Amino acid sequence: MRGLVRETELTPAHLVYPLFVEAGLSGRSPIESMPGQDRLGLDALAAEARELRALRIPAVLLFGLPPEKDEQGSGAWARDGIVQQAAAILKDAAPELVVIADVCLCEYTSHGHCGLLWPDGTVDNDATLPLLMETAVSLATAGCDIIAPSDMMDGRVAAIRAGLDQGGFSQVPVLSYAAKFASAFYGPFREAAESAPAFGDRRGYQMDPANARMALDEVLTDIDEGADMVMVKPALPYLDVLRRVRDAVDVPVAAYNVSGEYSMLMAAAERGWIDRDRAIDETLTSIRRAGADMVITYHARQWAERH
């Protein structure tokens, strides 16, 4: 009877699984601050793709750890970049797997910020846009199905959309990290991706957690610039923002159940303080109930293995 009247549906088809791919790594390497998650070498990707499809998880979100970094983050758009290579392997192993490519420079810059810097250490928004555009085109060329800019530079969606269209990729959609907050819940990710800023923080270009109306304005701006889908990140502390966005727009909406949310739940479950499986069910259902069409979550495999 509960199933007959249940209002919110959650299936593997709603889930996106993030993957960390590390240059030079063979096999898998556990991420200490994210129990149950690994960095993957290129040689581990084909098996991973086939396992995810067997679990009916339709999509992955790729993050790369390059062999070296520089001030510009040139590894982000290199033809043989780590994510470019990973995308080709995944599509060859499981052509139906949707490969979403995160577009940002923070994993590739020696200073760890999401764009080029002025001499005083602040981010040069406008100078960063051509590099993000070049990265997006490079990733689409490598076979990525969706381009997902996470940098939070003003105007980056318009730049990326123009670059994709001019490069012959007008059919490749843009999933914008439209409402990305300057959050304390990113810590484990920054360890996993080795992307912590070397100085300062990202509050100059990520959103103030106190501002919901501004978040909606950012979402609408990105849609006007050509975003085909939009995202709210993190998910759980911003379910109210997610609901506002869902009610305001007609495009698909994603929510990112981020690393800190994942690690808190896993740590509590390891100590026997909560029931892991029920807590995962409740967490993912709450994000869907708030309005997310797709949930990006490190729990995707754990959940799909039980359903």
Whole-number Cα distances in Å, 32 to 29, 79, 193, 261, 269:
9, 31, 12, 15, 16
Residue 69 annotated as catalytic: no
Count of positions (residues) in the chain: 307
Residue 180 annotated as catalytic: yes
Q: Which of 233, 244, 246, 301 is catalytic?
A: 233
Distance CA(162)–CA(304), nearest Å, equals: 37
Q: Which residues pair with 40 in a beta bridge?
A: 21, 28
- Is residue 17 exposed (0-12), middle (13-18) or buried (19+ Cβ within 10 Å)? buried
Q: Which of 14, 111, 180, 244 is catalytic?
A: 180
Which positions are annotated as active-site residues?
A: 180, 233
